[in-house]
Amino acid sequence: MRKQSHMTGRMAVTDTLDWNTKTAIAQGNYKTPFDVLGSHTGIVQGQSVWIVRAFLPGALSASVVLEARTRSHGRINTDVLPMQMIHPAGLFSMIVLSAEPYPYVLDVQRQVGEIERVADPYSFPPILSDYDLHLIGEGTHLELYKRLGAHPCEVRGVRGISFAVWAPNARRVSVVGDFNNWDERAYPMRLHPNGVWEIFLPNLPLGTLYKFAILSAAGDYRVLKSDPFAFAAELRPGTASKVWDLEGYQWGDAEWEEKRTEHNAETAAISVYELHVGSWKHPSASDTTQVTYRDLAHQLVPYIKDLGYTHVELLPVAEHPFDGSWGYQVTGYYTPTSRYGTPQDFMYFVDQCHQHGIGVLLDWVPAHFPKDEHGLRYFDGSHLYEHADPRRGEHPEWGTQVFNFGRNEVRNFLTANALFWFDAYHIDGLRVDAVASMLYLDYSRTDGEWLPNRYGGRENLEAIAFLRECNENVRARYPHVLMIAEESTAWPKVTAPVAEGGLGFSLKWNMGWMHDILEYMRYDPVHRSHHHNELTFSFAYAHSEKFILALSHDEVVHIKGSMLNKMPGDLWQKFANLRVLYAFMYAHPGKKLLFMGGEMGQWSEWNFAGFLDWFVLEEETQNGMYHRKLRDFVRDLNTLLRTEVALHECDFLPEGFEWIDGSDTQNSVIAFVRYGYEKADPLLFVCNFTPVPRPNYRIGAPVAGRYMEVLNSDGERYGGSNVINASLKTERVAQHGQKQSLVLTLPPLGVLALKPAKPVKSATRANKHVSKKNSVVVMPDDAVDEK
């Protein structure tokens, strides 16, 4: 056999690679490295040759080592083929006369006497299939996170990590990390026509830190970027991505998943405890302040289960560099923040919640992203994820970038991300942040700072299409999860199906109710009669959307005051007012949400850098008693919500609500009824928003007979003055459009929930269908007052 001159000295065959290509490889500027590096066959000087090239910065020498079976072919009579350095930066070449390539590895000597045997990344074929590339190119790959990013896998019997990233406008993308001394020249990636780069790096361990080194098309922009699809990340202030395997966790929540449809149903009792992971409670170990997902599970789950909450909603846990953003400026959309543990630790948290009957909702931020250099901004030397024009691509109020929702790949990135949290972490719903900022092109912008749509309007047509597309895809794959819109305007049909012209959300935060009721509650009760409309207006649109009533984190920061400190009056009145507010929220149609700390009435505003004021519950004073009794009250509200179908079965149906009297402005009293299906199981609510007890207060009643108090916010057990109604029976006195009425003593700053002593059941509850024509009230035999 004829061999290379540097092997045998006979029949010299020279590598004809031109100097410019060698230099471009050595400088890390070559766009198609797989055309040069690795194994190739061809014709050189009229001879069929096999060429292996490797770029090994810092190497002193290298050899191609053939696998043992190669020699059985009889073509090559040695298993070690020395390579020749053809560029001083560390570019090596080996050529032999052969018409076919052979399996091989490399022996690399980086220091005198030390030889490392490695697999050549450029000897492996592409990982991504043509079908994957097609779907990625058209922006419809709903499992994009299984293809892009970093994934442990085995190729040709070799374990390693496949890396893939979308960067269509880059000249070169390479993978860097400790494994190659962060040298961006070392592992340039293969480019596919749709702008996806990929490479398989053998023998990298899990936990490896890495980034993508980007060189712009013009060659004037070099940057290290975190992986947009990374499953794990380096602990801040580090910004590297971390190779991770999401497989292997043994979930124990099969029963919950099977019954998710019941937990998230429109007819279900849903009461959400909103929480910021890092500032809820000191870790159970006294020698650390480091909150962890696992410790949170052990402390939080029994706490909120005892209080009767059905779901917990976490402020964003996706990776973010700045603690002060509370998680709303995301750089790692597929990464649970490493602040609190590993991905499997977060799985454990979700699993524990599910095993104890608690759903898990996450805040999700598809509206905007921060400008941190390692993040999505100007990702490949171009405005890839954001609009180039700042009138579309900048969010002036938050100093962030706005996603380019008109780009297929960007919509795919976000839609796949929503699906990812349901798939990988069994999440029960996403609360979509800042939807209003997505819907309107002029949101928080003055004239000249925004561009109209193609019809001259202010609606962001691309964002609207994205929200509909995302919700439709979520609904198709995970029909029983919740998609919740934080939307603060009067945009119509937010929760209507896409097929009916809606956005397709499951629920919408009722921001109007929140604003009006908090303004109303701030007034001294003596002035509330002048602001009665702020109390009652929300009932006019209560069924226009599927609402969730939220007293969220946004209401207890930035000098707005804690929930307790918003209330007027002395100590007793502050707590009484807060009980009235919470009772009114639970009586009002809609699902419920309360931010942590509100359940105990802490005095301080929320501080993301601290913990809740748990000490208020431990004070052996009247103050401490009030805090403890307020928490008891919240527990009983949740119990009432779960046990009384009238409070949840018809939240979104007008038939589930009936005014008794909303016009008593002078006394600041309102009364209404909540019903279950077919007007069954009525609950009569009477709310007194002044500190004046009102004896002999006549109120119309929906059915005749005896009533009992099932809730009195003024009860002694809640810290109230204990003005109660021990025995109630209707009289045949028409009032408020009802044939019968009750005479009550209204407690000061109190809410009464009254229930007929004998249940009023619907004959057609089983079909769970409300018909205006066929609504029937089934009266108990002794319901008629014999007075």
Residues recognised as catalytic: 433, 486
What's the full length of the chain, in residues? 787
Cβ contact 656:589 at 8 Å: yes
Environment class of residue 761 by beta-carbon count within 10 Å: exposed (0-12), middle (13-18) or buried (19+)? Answer: middle
Reported as type and span, the H/E element at residue 683 is strand 683-688
Which residue is associated with the tokens 């190729």? 155
CA 604 to chain CA mean position, Å? 27
DSSP state of 498: G
Cβ contact 368:337 at 8 Å: no
Which residue is associated with the tokens 């000061």? 748
**Angstrom distance (rounded) from CA 653 to CA 333:** 36
Count of beta carbons in the 10 Å neighbourhood of residue 146: 16
Interior CA angle at 451 toward 449 and 454, to 5°?
Answer: 170
Strand, coil or helix: 97: strand
Cβ contact 352:396 at 8 Å: no
Structure tokens at 623: 């103050």
How many alpha carbons lie under 13 Å from residue 771 in its C-beta half-sphere? 9
CA dihedral 82, 86, 88, 91 (to 10 degrees): -70
**Angstrom distance (rounded) from CA 408 to CA 140:** 8
Closest CA to 584 of 516, 486, 488, 508: 516
CA 366 to chain CA mean position, Å? 9
Cβ contact 230:318 at 8 Å: no
* Residue 272 backbone phi and psi in degrees, to 5: -110, 130
Reported as type and span, the H/E element at residue 521 is helix 511-522
**Angstrom distance (rounded) from CA 750 to CA 752:** 7
Structure tokens at 412: 């795919």
Count of beta carbons in the 10 Å neighbourhood of residue 451: 14
* Residue 363 backbone phi and psi in degrees, to 5: -70, 135
Widest CA span in the chain: 123
Identity of the residue numbered 298: H
Cβ contact 102:50 at 8 Å: yes
